[in-house]
Amino acid sequence: MSWIEVQVKTTRDAVDAVSNILYDVGAGGVVIEDFHIASEATEWDEEDVDKLIVEDNIAVVKGYLPEGPDLPDKLNTVRNRVKELGNYINTGESTISTAEVYEEDWANSWKKYYKPVKIGPKIVIKPEWEQYQADKGELVVQIDPGMAFGTGTHETTRMCIVMLQKYLKPGMSLLDVGCGSGILSVTAAKLGASRVLALDIDDVAVNVARDNVLKNGVNNVVEVRKNDGLKGLKNEDIKADMVVANIIADVIIKITRDVRENLKKGGIYIASGIIKEREKDVVQELKVHGFSIVESMYDGEWVAMGCVLNA
């Protein structure tokens, strides 16, 4: 099958937002080439290193669209939305190019950019196809993101993993809203969570997350369910000790009321995926619903917040 590769040269800060745009127009997969992260990896073939262009805050997002009569309209939508995105976040060059490729060419090419990475004191995110010998005290999370978000390389995900290690205590229950590849749910289970309910509205993400849960042997702890945010959840489903949502500011604001209803008093809410420009909006909404911000973490243009639900 012939596909059109849409390549957007942008910044690391805009990777998730640009990826969302490509998925929204029907991309059958997204590849992220993050040269900054790649240059920090420790186990690279010499040939791979020679090919890397190490530039600070530069990333390339490649989306794959099937050829068809609606392709020109989809490309125009991508161009317009990327241009509009520049009003809210640093998108860098935002240059867009296209090329014809075949499915087998792109299905595995992105894997060379994804290597084991240690995040925080304990967690190592390891691609399924890579070898890694864990040191004493390390917990290895094996991930194949497939066509879902969540490789551990993006700032928003890394901050969540750091906060999980800081705030999650063994025996806690957790809700993962917008679970993507399931990386945060699996991490929580590895850290000792007693029960995790992972939610995502996207069928692909749900399937990928379930696969990753099985691969990590935590299916006795993690349940993956298709759901729109926290809609329709009842206390008998789970009244959580902790909620983690690595999404975007608008969705964080939208679900905060529901988070309150599904979190125990004194529970922890980790909210990430927030660009700095929207931090005040999110803080205001959190305070309205009884949350106190105990920690704000910053990485690039992104903010993650650790919050407590007041009793």
Q: In what order do the strands lie in the sheet with 173-177?
A: 222-226, 195-200, 173-177, 240-246, 263-275, 302-309, 291-299
Answer yes or no: are the C-beta atoms of 251 and 229 closer than 8 Å: yes
Domain residue limits at 267 = 117-309
Does 100 share its domain with 128?
no
**How many folded domains does the chain comprise?**
2
The counts of H helices and E strands in the chain are: 10, 14
Does 87 share its domain with 198?
no
Burial 135-149 (b: 16+ CB within 10 A, else e): eeeebbbbbbbbbbb
Does 222 share its domain with 125?
yes
Q: Which residues contact 40 (CB under 8 A, 6 or more apart)?
A: 117
Does 131 share its domain with 162?
yes
Does 129 share its domain with 96?
no
Dist. CA 110–CA 114, nearest whole Å: 7
Neighbours of 274 (CB within 10 A): 27
Does 40 share its domain with 173?
no
Q: What is the CA radius of gyration of the chain?
A: 19
pLDDT bin (cut points 50, 70, 90) of residue 47 is very low
Does 197 share its domain with 300?
yes
Provide the phi-psi class of 136: left if phi over 0, else alpha when psi is between -120 and 50, else beta: beta
Does 92 share its domain with 198?
no
Kindly report the CATH number assigned to the domain that includes residue 57.
3.30.70.120
0.75 surpassed by pTM: no
User: What's the helix, strand, coil split of the chain in %, to 5?
Assistant: 35, 30, 35
pLDDT score, position 286: 96
Dist. CA 52–CA 73, nearest whole Å: 33
pLDDT (tens digit per residue) in 231-252: 888 666 678 999 999 988 999 9
pLDDT (tens digit per residue) in 124-139: 999 888 888 889 999 9
Dist. CA 61–CA 30, nearest whole Å: 7
Does 29 share its domain with 121?
no
Does 65 share its domain with 146?
no
Dist. CA 304–CA 276, nearest whole Å: 10
Q: Which residue has the higher pLDDT, 296 or 52?
A: 296
3-class secondary-structure state, position 95? strand
pLDDT (tens digit per residue) in 264-309: 999 999 999 898 889 999 999 999 999 999 999 998 888 999 999 9
Residue ending a domain, among 87, 112, 137, is 112
pLDDT score, position 131: 86
Quote the DSSP letter at residue 178.
Answer: S
Does 226 share its domain with 127?
yes
Kindly report the CATH number assigned to the domain that includes residue 235.
3.40.50.150
Dist. CA 185–CA 196, nearest whole Å: 6
Q: How far apart are the first and last CA of the chain?
A: 56
Dist. CA 125–CA 152, nearest whole Å: 7
Residue ending a domain, among 112, 134, 166, is 112
* Closest C-alpha among 271, 265, 270, 262 to residue 309: 265
Residue ending a domain, among 90, 112, 134, is 112
Write phi, then psi, for 56 (nearest 5 degrees).
Answer: -75, 135
Residue linked to tokens 């922890």: 268
Does 108 share its domain with 121?
no
154 by Cβ neighbours in 10 Å (0-12 / 13-18 / 19+) ranks as buried
pLDDT (tens digit per residue) in 62-112: 888 888 888 899 999 999 999 999 888 888 888 999 988 766 665 566 666
